[in-house]
Structure 1
Amino acid sequence: MTFLKGLPQGDVRLLDTPTAQHLLRTPLVARMAYTGYDQKPRLIPVNFLWTGDELVVGAFAGTYKIRDLRARPDVSICIDTADGPPQVLTLRGRVTMSEVEGVLPEYATMQRQGMGEEAGNAYLEAIDQPGLRMVRIGLRPTWVGVLDFQDRFPGRTPKLVLAALGADQ
């Protein structure tokens, strides 16, 4: 694990750090940044599912988000906590999209995890009607950043700050 501490921000092997693995497997809401149709930045909350090598987001076909991502598929996704020392995982890359008829299987998993089995199933039954189309948005990160404010701090953090926090960087 020591080799992971020395990896630079951007190295995809940072996905193997305990902080990244924890954030990818915890039912948190992520934030996805992308460029809108009007070339203005967008930042939206998204539910996600980590498959082991891809972060999956489900969306309904025909939305502005899908239109915008088809035109400009480069995104940045942030998953973080605010309690205790913050933990932050930032992923960047280009998304791929595929449209499916009915409820996207990964979306169903996300809803059951977030709402609970009974409420999730009721919600999924209510929306799974003829004509429903969803889009699977997949990100295989090409850039990964991890901050845990214990072993990994933002670059150029002043030495006085690191010393005050007891960091040995």
Structure 2
Amino acid sequence: MTGLPQGSLGLLEHEVAVRLLASSELARLAYVAGDGTPRVMPMMFHWTGEELVMSTFAGAGKIAALRARPAVAVTIDAAGPPPEVLLLRGDAEVTDVEGIVPEYVLAHRRYYGPEQGAANVAAVDHPGTRMARIALRPSWVGVLDFTTRVPGPLRAAASGARS
């Protein structure tokens, strides 16, 4: 896996990517807001094996912004040492859902455990609840583990090369 270039979808199988996609680290969703300025929103997520799914409640400002400009970047990272970083890019697809997004339930279970996760979901699952499912099928993947995969300038510095 270390030989794959940044951007390769094959990096989703890298041990760092697999570990972070199964973790309880937050995904940080970067998008362009309706006023044209950048935003980064920390969000719980669920990885389906093909899509990174995040959820929000109806009426959230990011819904219209993502529909208008679906290109997003996501990072999921662990501080380390050494730090581990999964970078994803692609277009987000937003789907309105009556009730609770199924992956929202799965995310709460992973982040909080079965009992607390179920309690968290029950607290917001009422008649009339509406959510949006935000799904990203990555079109670009990057992995940094700062051991075998480091950013270009650091790799050059470590090997003594000049930039």
Rounded Cα–Cα distance in structure 2 between residues aligned with 1:107 and 1:50: 11
What SS class does the counterpart of residue 100 from structure 1 fall into?
strand
Determine whether 1:85 maps to 2:77.
Answer: no
2:103 to 100, 103, 106: 106
1 CA distance for matches of 2:159 and 2:90?
A: 30
SS of residue in 2 equivalent to 1:57 = strand
1:154 and 2:151 aligned: yes
Aligned-residue Cα RMSD (Å) equals 1.3
After the TM superposition, which residues 70-149 of structure 1 pair with which residues of structure 2 at under 5 Å, given as runs? Answer: 70-149=67-146
Structure 2 residue identity aligned to 1:86: P
* Percentage identity across paired residues of the two chains: 49
Matches within 5 A, 1:2-17: 4-17=1-14
Distance 1:90 1:158, change over 3 A: closer
Q: Distance in 1 between matches of 2:11 and 2:113?
A: 31
Measured after TM superposition, the shift of residue 35 of structure 1 is 0.2
State the Cα distance separating 1:51 from its structure 2 match: 0.6
With normalisation by structure 1, the TM-score equals 0.90
| Residue 66 (structure 1) aligned with residue 35 (structure 2) | no
Structure-2-length-normalised TM-score: 0.93
What is aligned with 2:41?
44
1:42 counterpart letter in structure 2: R
Count of residues in Structure 1 that have an aligned counterpart in Structure 2: 160
Judged with a 3 Å threshold, the aligned counterparts in structure 2 of structure 1 residues 61 and 43 are, in CA distance, closer, same or farther, namely: same
Q: Distance in 2 between matches of 1:9 and 1:125?
A: 41
Deviation of the 1:54 alpha carbon:
0.8
Deviation at 1:160, TM superposition (A): 4.2
Q: Name stretches of at least 5 consecutive residues in structure 1 with no aligned partner.
A: 164-169
Give the 3-state SS of the residue equivalent to 1:45 in structure 2.
strand
